[in-house]
């Protein structure tokens, strides 16, 4: 009987301990959320605010993990840990993981646009040199250490709906890249710049995949040879 009494007491104490632990976790979560709200309401210091810094950390972690390991393979908790940010902070910036994926792709696209704009600023009027520089940069991106193919193609493979925000980000980037190739072909004096851009897009996609799956050196050499042949071929056939 004494054993039964102590057994019941132990069960009751265990239950009470679990309730206390659960309540403490609720209090802790509420305090964290309150702190985040206070931080969000605090005027940012000169040079950028804490919230902007948190968003940048989230995007940096997403860029590294989603590209390096795959979108579906990386759980949202992993992003929290790598950023590092609290759950409340993450959802203050991104309503869903898909929103983060779309923002990650928009960020990748923005970097490429900045790079191309910088090239145009320094190589104005020298289309052949710009083509060579773009090919070199593309080879470095697709065939260098850590390359895992094209982030946009990789993302499109995981989102089947063309109307999804992630797919729209992919489509917008590809349209922009095609327009840049068409513009460059026109500057090189090609009579059919859009046709050349179509072919250069296929080459770009091919080297992104080939540089990851096959011999990177051969993929890079093939890109240079094929792109040169395309832009110098003028008979329209």
Residue 21: what pLDDT? 60
Cβ-contact 62, 79 below 8 angstroms: yes
Domain boundaries, the chain: 48-94, 96-232
Residues with Cβ within 8 Å of 108's Cβ and at least 6 positions away in sequence, in order, are: 63, 151, 152, 173
Greater confidence (232 vs 148) lies with 148
Is the model's pLDDT at 99 over the cut of 70? yes
**Packing angle of the helix pair 165-187, 97-122 (nearest 10 deg):** 10
Cβ-contact 215, 147 below 8 angstroms: no
Residue 124: what pLDDT? 85
For 135-167, the pLDDT digits (tens) are 999 999 999 899 999 999 999 999 999 999 999
The confidence band for 39, taking pLDDT boundaries of 50, 70 and 90, is very low
Q: Is the peptide bond before 84 cis (omega within 30 degrees of 0)?
A: yes
Q: How far apart are the first and last CA of the chain?
A: 98
The confidence band for 15, taking pLDDT boundaries of 50, 70 and 90, is low
CA distance 236 to 128: 20
**Packing angle of the helix pair 50-69, 2-41 (nearest 10 deg):** 110
CA distance 55 to 49: 10
| DSSP, res 211 | H
**Whole-number mean pLDDT of the chain?**
85
| DSSP H helix total and E strand total for the chain | 10, 0
Is the model's pLDDT at 31 over the cut of 60? no
Residue 38: what pLDDT? 44
What secondary structure does DSSP assign to 131-149, as a single string? HHHHHHHHHHHHHSTT--S
Cβ-contact 99, 79 below 8 angstroms: no
The confidence band for 26, taking pLDDT boundaries of 50, 70 and 90, is low
The confidence band for 231, taking pLDDT boundaries of 50, 70 and 90, is confident
- What is the mean predicted confidence (pLDDT) over 54-82? 96
Is the model's pLDDT at 176 over the cut of 80? yes
**pTM score, whole prediction:** 0.77
- Write down the CATH superfamily of domain 48-94: Homeodomain-like (1.10.10.60)
Q: How far is CA 237 from the centre of its chain?
A: 38
The confidence band for 51, taking pLDDT boundaries of 50, 70 and 90, is confident
Residue 114: what pLDDT? 97
Report for 11-20, 40-49, 111-120: range of highest mean pLDDT: 111-120
- Write down the CATH superfamily of domain 96-232: Tetracycline Repressor, domain 2 (1.10.357.10)
For 201-214, the pLDDT digits (tens) are 999 999 999 999 99
> What's 149-205 look like in SS3?
CCHHHHHHHHCCCCCCHHHHHHHHHHHHHHHHHHHHHHHCCCCCHHHHHHHHHHHHH
Q: Do domains 48-94 and 96-232 have the same CATH topology?
A: no
Say if residue 28 is exposed, middle or buried (CB neighbours under 10 Å; 0-12, 13-18, 19+). Answer: exposed
Residue 9: what pLDDT? 45
């Amino acid at each position: 009987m004494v054993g039964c009494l102590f057994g019941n007491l132990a069960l009751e104490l265990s239950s009470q301990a679990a309730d206390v632990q659960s309540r403490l976790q609720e209090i802790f979560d509420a305090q964290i959320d309150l702190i985040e709200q206070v931080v969000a309401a605090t005027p940012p210091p000169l040079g950028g605010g804490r919230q902007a810094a948190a968003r940048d950390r989230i995007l940096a972690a997403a860029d590294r993990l989603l590209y390096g390991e795959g979108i579906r393979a990386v759980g949202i908790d992993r992003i929290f840990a790598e950023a590092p940010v609290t759950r409340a902070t993450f959802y203050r910036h991104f309503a869903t993981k898909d929103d983060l994926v779309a923002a990650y792709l928009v960020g990748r696209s923005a970097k490429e646009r900045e790079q191309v704009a910088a090239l145009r600023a320094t190589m104005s009027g020298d289309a052949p040199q710009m083509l060579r520089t773009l090919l070199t940069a593309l080879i470095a991106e697709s065939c260098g250490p850590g390359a895992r193919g094209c982030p946009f193609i990789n993302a499109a493979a995981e989102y089947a709906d063309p109307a999804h925000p992630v797919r729209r980000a992919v489509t917008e980037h590809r349209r922009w890249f095609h327009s840049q190739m068409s513009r460059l072909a026109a500057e090189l004096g090609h009579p059919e710049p859009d046709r050349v851009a179509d072919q250069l897009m296929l080459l770009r996609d091919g080297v992104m995949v080939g540089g990851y799956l096959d011999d990177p050196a051969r993929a890079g050499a093939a890109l240079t040879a094929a792109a040169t042949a395309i832009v110098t071929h003028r008979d329209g056939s």
